[in-house]
Amino acid sequence: MVNHAQSTGSWPKSDGANGRHAVVIGGSLAGLLAAHVLAGHADTVTVVERDRLPDGPQPRAGVPQGRHAHVLLEGGQLALDSLLPGFMAELRAAGAPRVGMPADMVSWSAGIWFRRTAPTTHIYTGSRAQIEHLVRERVLANPVITVVGPAEAVGLVGDASRVRGVLVRERGGDAGNGGAGPEPRTLLADVVVDASGRGSRAPQWLSAIGGEAPEEETIDTGLAYASRIYRSKSANLGTESLAYWVYPNASQVYGGGVLPLEDGTHLAIFSGLRGSEPPTDEDGFTAFAARLPHPFVHEWLLEAEPQTPPFGFRSTSNVRRRYDRPGRRPAGFLATGDALCTFNPIYGQGMTVAAQCAVALRDTLADPRRTPTTHRVQQALFAASRQAWDISAGADRSMPGAAGSGVPTRALDRPVGWYLKRVQQRYPGDPDVVGPAFRSVLSLSAPVTTLFAPRVARAVLFGPVGATPAGPPMTRDATGGGR
């Protein structure tokens, strides 16, 4: 399947009795979907997972942001249905809320209220635990795939030319080895996929076997957010409106809103930059909602019934590891999901990109025209994450106090930024041209070039800024609302 980063050749075949073996580090969405794809090319696939996987849709300790808002964009919906046919029907049957954009959400951005016209895209706002549970059920039903855990990968086996396996240490039980835990054992493999997430240690592991760690691009605004589950008493939220949302920007740095969950409750989430983080005590969390530029979310919060304490999360930097670039890296090693490219979670892109990376992996391995070398596959995974990075990093780069190697802009970014500013001025009030185009790009279901199509460009460059509501539109647009 995969060969040396700078060479050609077919997938290396193991001489072992068990045939070709692939190991995936991490049993989250990215890891499960990668395992699903690899099961079509390997004789056995082993997923190494730190957590004891739950039987149902419960949060996992290894997903610290699991209690917070997760959105499945249209691009992710299409990818999941392509990988696991019928998946979205299962998700709908499980009660996941489907929110039509912009009809079902009361939204504010940069001083503008969005017209609630007929939806041109939909998002799913149920819990991550629900989606992971349904994916896990489908993927692990394949007898080719097994899970080792609770266990953690602690290193790679091999050298700078080829990865030959993973060092795995069991978690839990009595600590041996002088208190350092049990000795790691070697899990031999022809291919190793790192899907261990934002905290991946693969760069250090590669260096330890004589390889070269990837360059990293980072953009960190210091953004933090806090979430709390409520039960709504509002006559608006859940009938005329399914969600409320305030988008932050460089001039108004507080954001957040209310999203529906699959059990009929709602998740309130608020965000602020470094030095203005939302607190996680009850009174402070409620008071923070008053910092938003309009009191409509705060008013809802005062009437709703809390179901949980507030939970905080602060690890929100954008980090991209450039495994796609040439370097002294071993054949047979790939990175995907957050281990490759992690985004500020506030933009809700992670699950969608995990699914799109799995589609890229599947399509590259199945391409009859080109040999799927390690480097070629890694480039395809990078390409699958690029648009989400451009959106997330582009927005964070302009935030006050943004820091990191990815913050400096290029000369080309200035005219593009000028054009995109005009797009953002027009799309809240344009139900026909700019609005649908921009939402399709943000939902990762259409390429960025969609915004430069002749019809869209004419509206952006020469069209007027459409009229928008003067206050929160609690009902759908009478001239274009509905589902």
Residue pLDDT, tens place only, 280-338: 999 999 999 999 999 999 999 999 999 999 999 988 899 999 999 989 999 999 999 99
pLDDT for the residue numbered 251: 87
Q: Is the pLDDT of residue 196 over 90?
A: yes
Q: Where in the chain is the domain with CATH 3.30.70.2450?
A: 223-313
Distance in angstroms (rounded) separating the CA atoms of residues 221 and 316: 8
The C-alpha atoms of residue 326 and residue 55 are separated, in whole angstroms, by 42
Q: In the beta sheet, which residues pair with residue 305?
A: 231
User: How do strand 163-170 and strand 185-188 relate by DSSP bridges?
Assistant: antiparallel
Report the CATH number of the 223-313 domain.
3.30.70.2450
Provide the pLDDT for residue 238.
78
34 pLDDT higher than 90:
yes
Give 181's pLDDT tier (boundaries 50, 70, 90): low
| pLDDT (mean) for 175-202 | 83
Residue 264 φ/ψ, nearest 5 degrees? 90, -5
CA distance 379 to 134: 29
Specify the pLDDT at position 83.
Answer: 98
pLDDT in tens, 123-151: 999 999 999 999 999 999 999 999 998 99
pLDDT bin (cut points 50, 70, 90) of residue 434 is very high
Which strand (E) or helix (H) includes residue 152?
Answer: strand 151-158
Give me the pLDDT at residue 4, please: 32
Average of per-residue pLDDT across 333-359: 95
Task: Please give the pLDDT value at position 383.
Answer: 97
pLDDT bin (cut points 50, 70, 90) of residue 346 is: confident
Confidence of residue 9 (pLDDT cuts 50, 70, 90): very low
Higher pLDDT, 59 or 12: 59
Question: What's the pLDDT tens digit per position in 160-169?
Answer: 999 999 999 9
Query: pLDDT digits over 42-91, tens only?
Result: 999 999 999 998 888 888 877 767 778 899 999 999 999 999 999 999 99
Residues of the chain with CATH 3.50.50.60: 21-65+134-218+318-394
Average pLDDT of span 118-126: 96
pLDDT digits (tens, 9 = 90+) for 381-421: 999 999 999 999 989 998 999 999 999 877 777 888 899 99
Confidence label for 233 from pLDDT (cuts 50, 70 and 90):
confident
* 412, 417, 422, 424 alpha-carbon torsion, rounded to 10°: 140
Does the pTM of the predicted model rise above 0.85? yes
Average pLDDT, the chain: 90
Q: Are 364 and 2 in contact (CB under 8 A)?
A: no
The predicted structure's pLDDT at residue 64 = 67
**Residue 1: what pLDDT?**
46
Residue 89 phi, psi (nearest 5): -65, -40
> What backbone phi and psi angles, to 5 degrees, belong to 225?
-140, 165
Query: CATH number of 21-65+134-218+318-394: 3.50.50.60, 3.20.20.70, 3.40.50.12160, 3.40.50.300?
Result: 3.50.50.60
Phi, psi of 396 (to 5 degrees): -70, -30
pLDDT at 15: 38
Are β-strands 105-109 and 216-219 bridged in parallel, bridged antiparallel, or unpaired? unpaired
pLDDT of residue 182: 80
Q: Phi/psi of residue 43, each to 5°?
A: -80, -35
d(CA 458, CA 423): 11
Contacts of 98 (CB under 8 A, 6+ apart): 92, 122, 123, 124
Report residue 333 CA to chain centroid gap: 22
Taking 50 as the threshold, does the pLDDT of residue 254 lie above it?
A: yes
Percent of the chain at pLDDT > 90 equals 77
DSSP state letters, 361-405: HHHHHH-TTS---HHHHHHHHHHHHHHHHHHHHHHHHTSTT-BST
CB contact at 8 A, 255 and 205: no
Cβ within 8 Å of residue 317, ≥6 positions away: 218, 219, 220, 221, 342, 344, 404
Residue 7, pLDDT > 60, answer no
* Cβ–Cβ < 8 Å for 104, 91: no
Lowest mean pLDDT among 66-70, 259-263, 339-343: 66-70
Binned at pLDDT 50, 70 and 90, residue 444 comes out as very high
pLDDT attached to residue 440: 98
> Smallest Cα–Cα separation from 66: which of 195, 247, 206, 229?
229
Residue 231 contacts residue 466 (beta carbons within 8 Å): no
What is the number of other CB atoms lying within 10 angstroms of the CB of residue 386? Answer: 15
Whether residue 173 is predicted with pLDDT greater than 70 in this model: the reply is no
Burial class of residue 236 in the structure, from the number of CB atoms within 10 Å of its CB (0-12 exposed, 13-18 middle, 19+ buried): middle
Q: List the strands of the sheet with 191-194, edge to edge.
A: 145-148, 44-48, 21-25, 191-194, 333-335
Q: Which residues contact 260 (CB under 8 A, 6 or more apart)?
A: 97, 99, 125, 238, 242, 243, 266, 267
